[in-house]
Amino acid sequence: MQRGAGAKFMPNALVFPGGVATPSDEKLGPPTKIAALRPYSPNFKTPCEKLHLHGNTTHVLCPQHVSWPDEQKITNVLPGDHLYITEDKFNQPPRKLPLEEIQVDPHKPTHRAEYKVKPLYSMCKLYMHNLAPEYRNSFHQFETQSKQLA
C-alpha cells in the first residue's frame, strides 16, 4: 500500500465488503479506510450500524491544549486527567504550565497525548493510568506508555 502523491486507491465497494455502493464509487477511496476500520472488526464482520458499540460513547473527547515551557512539546489532556478542567470544558483556551505540573506523574490520574511541535505530532506518546472507574471503564485501552513509568 502506498500513500502520498503516488497513492493507490480502490473503490468504496471493495473497502466495505457487502457492497456499500455509492455515487462516489467512480471516485476512488484511499486504502487507509481499511486500516482505520480493521481494529473494529476482524474480517469486517461487524455491520456499520454496530460500529458504535466498539468505541467511546460515554464521554465527549474535547482535548485541552497545554504547551510546555520550552514550547517544544504539546500535551492534550483528556477527560479523567488530573489537569483536565471540567468546568466549561469545551471552551478552555490553550494554556502553558510549568514543567513540574505538565510532566507525567505515575501516581496521578492521567489521560493524555503528548507530542513534539516540530515536526508536529512526532514522537507521540499516549498515557492512560490511575483513572477513576467512570473513565477507566468507558475508554478503549490503547497501548500506552503508562506501563513504562517507574
Q: What is the pLDDT of residues 98-126, one digit of tens each?
A: 999 999 999 999 999 999 999 888 889 99
Residues 100 and 137 in one domain: yes
Residues 68 and 121 in one domain: yes
Residues 41 and 77 in one domain: no
With a threshold of 0.75, does the pTM exceed it?
no
| Total domain count, the chain | 2
Domain containing 46 equals: 4-54
In terms of Cβ atoms closer than 10 Å to its own Cβ (0-12, 13-18, 19+), residue 114 is: buried
Residues 47 and 70 in one domain: no
Residues 72 and 134 in one domain: yes
Residues 78 and 42 in one domain: no
